[in-house]
Amino acid sequence: DKIWFKAYLVDATEHRTDTLSNFIYVDIVDRKGKTVLAKKIKRDSCGFANNFEIPHVFPAGDYTLRAYTGWMTNFDPAFFFQRNIRIGNSLSGRVDAAVTYTDPKNGTPQAIVRFTGPDSEPYPDVNVRFEVFDRNGKRISGAQQKTTVTGAVFVDLPPDSIRQGGYVSTAIDQGELFFKKEFFFPEDSVRVAVKFMPEGGDLVPGVPQIVAFRAERSDARTAEVEGVVTTKGGDTVARFASEHDGMGSFLIIPRTGERYVATVAARTGDTLRIELPEVDDDGYALAAVQTPDEVRYRVNRDPDKEFEPMTVVAHVRGKCIGIQNLNPMNPTGRWKTDSIPEGILHLVLIDSSLRTRSERILFVAHPHDRERWEAASDKPRYEPRQKVVIRIRLTAADSTPLGADCSVSVTDRKTVATDSLGEDIRANLLMTSDIRGYVRNPGYYFRDESPATRHHRDLLMRTRGWRRFDFAKIADTAAFRPERFCEHGQFIAGHVTGMMGKDAPLARVTAVALNRENVFGTAVADERGNFLIDGLDFRDTTLFMVTAKTRRGKPVQAVAIEESYPRPAFLRKNPFEPETEKNAMNRYLENTKKGLLDLNGEKVYELPGAVVRAVDPRKPKANSYGTLYDTTALA
């Protein structure tokens, strides 16, 4: 099968089509963090449209697709595009395997792996090899067993501290039967962590302040919690409960010198005692609210303290929206939302020394300014195999026709379920690409503009303590020196060493592709022997022969080629679905198998292999003199 895709490369600030980088890198990474498929794709008339060919022996399981440019490797890999995908195999129905785990309280923990056939009948007396690995891929143990009458093998597991993040690899290779599958260990106990984030960053005394919180499980899922906030003396000052995806908020009036403790009860049975941040007597807290017409802010401080000269800076994706000097007598301000682009608005309070004192982010939505899509078929009903014509129309909010660079997927709605709450292009560009970490169901926040959706979206913004753009770095006047540059064309770079082991200045370098495309390039090294041959146009995985001579035409000792863009370290952003949530893929595979069995009214059977034991009567007979043909039988 093939994974078809199209990449859209846009400027991170204006979301306009980027024309500087003409190459992107796309990787498919397995659950162990190993890159199993990789491509470098050149922009053509269709943009970055391409595909991955998935071999029929490719192991089914969870993978992550990530994409980036060479220029993006100068920055945090956390902002590379990532999407978790599940690859199934609808044709490997001969063997399947499922795993269960024994209770570690009853002795040595074990994984029980059962192997079954197409009709769920067990596979007994089959040799199975298995190996246990830790989270770093180090082999812990391994053995070989024959399956029991129920098709099971029993794998002893290491202690919990070693097992977490690890996996067991199983394999059957017996005659015509070949099967391989890996099972990643679940956590024995799911732990809950809760983070409390005062609006603006610090608790300031003497003024009402909203404190938001986010509860997450150790498996990266959200957790529903409730609890109370008390003083050190035991006085209750607030009660709270999560409202949406483990997030919630409460109101508190901090007091100077007081410490606050939250007692949290989770549905998992965990009870936590967490200290809130200390009250900062010299702190500032930037509070903001949003209405359909404007964004209003207020800077709070201890009423007994005077305001220092302060400035509020607002930007969206690094583009400055406005700068306002703070009035100490009335520390408030506002911006009209129609002057703010759609996306995450970052408000920053800075002092006269350009030090950040408080921050707040909000999401500004313009649902009424978005484009409109219309799709209509040329007929209300079609016969089998009849040509279908779909007309798609794109207009602006004022019905003005728009041009666009689009990609279209056609799927069977009975087989492929759409995820209206998942991440789409809009959610990625406007939200998830601008904040770090996992956002569960980002499409939910764009579904409508009801009061509940707006409130939940604001909770998401309040509980994201990390912003893509660090204002301290923006204010830093030091020159930015990128290690990688935009790949407008392909190149070969390296260094030439002379016969005496020293640099070969002004050496003449030639690169010739060892294929039929006649690609070659030349360059002259600089005074340190470094060279760059650019303007090359060649396919991925092309072998070049690079030669060099000194400026006087003499041989050189060595030519060292630099690695153009080494694969950056991989850090998975989004958790994989638990086994219990993979029903959609299972239904898809079942429907696909059914589709194979009934093709235009004809029965189609998958034959994994067939052995014919018969003699063709027309087969030529042979003797020591050669081959004898029976012309009568052949006729």
**Where are the chain's structural domains?**
2-87, 106-184, 192-275, 285-364, 368-448, 490-561
Label residue 354 left, alpha or beta by phi (over 0 means left) and psi (-120 to 50 means alpha): left
| DSSP-based three-state secondary structure for 74 | helix
Burial of 153 (0-12, 13-18, 19+ CB in 10 A): buried
| Ramachandran angles phi, psi of 112, nearest 5° | -105, 110
pLDDT at 145: 92
pLDDT at 174: 75
The single-letter DSSP state of residue 276 is P
Q: Give the predicted TM-score (pTM) of the model.
A: 0.81
Q: Which of 160-174, 250-264, 376-390 has the lowest mean pLDDT?
A: 160-174
| DSSP-based three-state secondary structure for 586 | helix
Are 523 and 509 in contact by the 8 Å Cβ rule? The answer is yes
Mean pLDDT, to the nearest integer, of 24-49?
A: 90
pLDDT at 538 over 90: no
Q: How far apart are the first and last CA of the chain?
A: 43
Strand locations in 117-231, DSSP E? 127-133, 139-146, 152-156, 167-174, 177-184, 192-198, 209-217, 225-231
State how far the alpha carbon of 546 is from the alpha carbons of 38, 508, 510, 514, 556, in Å. Answer: 25, 11, 6, 10, 12
What's CA 499's distance to the chain center, in Å?
A: 48
Q: Which of 117-126, 173-182, 270-279 has the lowest mean pLDDT?
A: 173-182
CATH classification (class only), 192-275: mainly beta
pLDDT at 581 over 70: no
pLDDT at 618 over 70: no
pLDDT at 417: 74
pLDDT at 313: 93
CATH classification (class only), 2-87: mainly beta
Q: Which of 53-57, 425-429, 455-459 has the lowest mean pLDDT?
A: 53-57
Element (H, E) at 357: strand 356-364
Side chain identity, residue 175: G
| Ramachandran angles phi, psi of 429, nearest 5° | -70, -40
| DSSP-based three-state secondary structure for 543 | coil
Which option is the CATH number for 285-364: 2.60.40.10, 2.70.150.10, 2.60.40.290, 2.70.98.60? 2.60.40.10
Tell me, yes or no, if the two domains 106-184 and 192-275 fold the same way.
yes
Closest CA to 284 of 298, 270, 265: 298
Tokens of 440: 């569960």
Pairing of strands 285-290, 294-300: antiparallel
Return contacts of 329-336, CB within 8 angstroms, 24+ apart: 331/298, 331/299, 331/300, 331/301, 331/307, 332/296, 332/297, 332/298, 332/299, 333/296, 333/297, 334/294, 334/295, 334/296, 334/297, 335/294, 335/295, 336/293, 336/294
Q: How far apart are CA 54 and CA 162, in angstroms?
A: 33
Mean pLDDT, to the nearest integer, of 390-418?
A: 86
Are 127 and 166 in contact by the 8 Å Cβ rule? The answer is no
Give me the DSSP letters along 516-542.
Answer: TT--EEEEE--TTSEEEEEEE---SS-
Q: Domain 106-184 classified CATH 2.60.40.10?
A: yes
Q: How far apart are CA 579 and CA 581, in angstroms?
A: 5
Q: How many CB atoms lie within 10 A of CB 188?
A: 14
| DSSP-based three-state secondary structure for 151 | coil
Tokens of 304: 């007994």
Q: How far apart are CA 488 and CA 32, in angstroms?
A: 33
Closest CA to 113 of 85, 167, 152, 77: 152
pLDDT at 46 over 80: yes
Element (H, E) at 456: helix 451-462
When pLDDT is cut at 50, 70 and 90, the band that residue 631 belongs to is very low
More confident residue, 600 or 244: 244
Contacts of 377 (CB under 8 A, 6+ apart): 388, 389, 390, 391
